[in-house]
Structure 1
Amino acid sequence: MNDTFHELPIPRTELALAALRFARGIEDRAIFNHSMRSYLYARFLGEREGLRPGRDYDDELLFLGCVLHDAGLSDQGNGEQSFDLDGADLAAAFLTEHGLAPEKAEIVWDAIALHLYPGIAGRKRPEIALVTAGSGFDLGPVGPHTLPAGYADRVHAVLPRLHAAAVLKDTIVGQALDKPHKAPPFTMPGELLRQKTQVTWPTWEQLMAQSPSWRDYDGYRSNT
């Protein structure tokens, strides 16, 4: 492994390092750095909640979920679903091929597939909840916890931001411009696409009218 990361407190298992190399090989550097920072912040947030690796959660699974959580934003991961699901599928396939037990690969799949939905992920097991918490914290620290003085500077010295938020948005939108079905209305990718194109979303009634056989609005008068 590149000595650039030798001081980072990451798992050094064969699978963790293979996943690191895989993510670094397919992702834009800004996105890869974001994924690595997500793990460091996930660990930090877990500690602040009294969670300890090896006791309360599987640290290797947390790292795998973090380092691969945006694999769907790579050319290799750019399939026909929203990027979170594409990434979850690619990650699970990679990990299974490298010998991870199916039940553990499913935990990583859930962590990646749910990382855009903090209200759901936050109610799941720590390996899932902390992927969402760490990745969100890297893009905009919120909540009761603040980093120790100088901590972010030390992280950024090894994993520079490289305009992470801007690169993430442009990559999500770029995929969606090419394949609009990857960004359905009212999802996060869909909203970023709407902001870019200024398209008008259909109303609820218009969406329901796409299934005219049910005719739920025929003769209906709303009380609200």
Structure 2
Amino acid sequence: MDAYGDLPFPWTSLTLKAMRLARSIEHPAVFNHSMRTYLYGRFLGERQGLLPGRDYDDELLFLGCVLHDAGLSDRGDGDQRFELDGADLAAEWLTEQGVPPERAEVVWDAIALHLCRDIALRKRPEIALVTAGAGYDIGADGPALPPGYADRIHAVLPRLHGAIVGQALAKPHKAPPFTVPGELVRQATGQSWPTWRDLVNDPGWNDYDGYTGTLSGSCTSPAG
């Protein structure tokens, strides 16, 4: 693909179709982020000694990366959290392309778990590196890129504007409190979140006084 120069994308018939699908349904900012996610995920994998074709399936990694935010598109905008909507869309599309269920399931997991950093990073590389790459693109928390590499990437995949808040404002249930989409909406709108006491008392239990429990962990690590 001449447009991407010598950037190391794994071009196959399926990855080209997936890229075209993502580009056709997503905001350019989301598409560019998804493509950068692959490059950074691959880079972080190399820093861990993981090589494509030897330690993981490069095609599956790319599919998970390029489709990981498909739930933010109009086509993928269902009634679940966007990462689940995107995972369902990707799995359905891959099945239509004749991809075996066990391969489609890896992509589904990679997309569905990409905001659950602590869980995803303990999974197989095709899943873990989607989360790692998406997080790196947002915060660049990790090893430094080779000199000039970020400039090469951003020359063809510039950083634009996101789409999570707009979708969540239209369907508030897609951005519940204490999730990444919920936090982005809170920051954008200044709205306040309920306290733990509010949540416990809301169903009418009225037994908060003296309660010493704590919230269990949730999928709130920033990735994208």
1:150 counterpart residue number: 148
Deviation at 1:6, TM superposition (A): 4.9
Deviation at 1:135, TM superposition (A): 1.1
1:223 and 1:46 map into 2 onto residues whose CA distance is: 41
1:159 counterpart residue number: 157
2:56 counterpart residue number: 57
1:221 counterpart residue number: 210
2:66 and 2:212 map into 1 onto residues whose CA distance is: 49
1:39 counterpart residue number: 38
1:210 and 1:57 map into 2 onto residues whose CA distance is: 46
2:10 and 2:70 map into 1 onto residues whose CA distance is: 19
Aligned residue pairs total 213
2:117 and 2:78 map into 1 onto residues whose CA distance is: 23
Q: Which structure: larger Rg?
A: 1
**More moved, 86-95 vs 200-209:** 200-209
2:96 and 2:68 map into 1 onto residues whose CA distance is: 17
Cα-to-partner distance string for 1:128-167 (whole Å, 9 max, x where unaligned): 1000111111122112x11111111111122222x3xxx2
Q: Could you say what secondary structure the match of 1:77 adopts?
A: coil
Deviation at 1:7, TM superposition (A): 2.8
Could you tell me which runs of 5 or more consecutive residues in structure 1 were left unpaired when the two chains were aligned.
Answer: none
Deviation at 1:59, TM superposition (A): 0.5
Cα-to-partner distance string for 1:180-203 (whole Å, 9 max, x where unaligned): 001011111111112222222222
1:192 counterpart residue number: 184
Cα-to-partner distance string for 1:99-123 (whole Å, 9 max, x where unaligned): 1111111111111111112111111
1:211 counterpart residue number: 203
Identity of aligned residues (%): 66
How does the TM-score come out when normalised to structure 2? 0.89
The two structures, once aligned, show a CA RMSD in angstroms of 1.7
Letter of the 1:72 partner, please give it. Answer: G
2:219 counterpart residue number: none
How does the TM-score come out when normalised to structure 1? 0.89
Q: Could you say what secondary structure the match of 2:145 adopts?
A: coil
1:160 and 1:221 map into 2 onto residues whose CA distance is: 52
For residues 197 and 40 of structure 1, do their structure 2 counterparts lie closer, same or farther at Cα, with a shift above 3 Å needed?
same
**How do residues 1-224 of structure 1 correspond to structure 2 at under 5 angstroms?**
3-143=2-142, 145-161=143-159, 163=160, 167-168=161-162, 171-212=163-204, 215=205, 217=207, 220-222=209-211
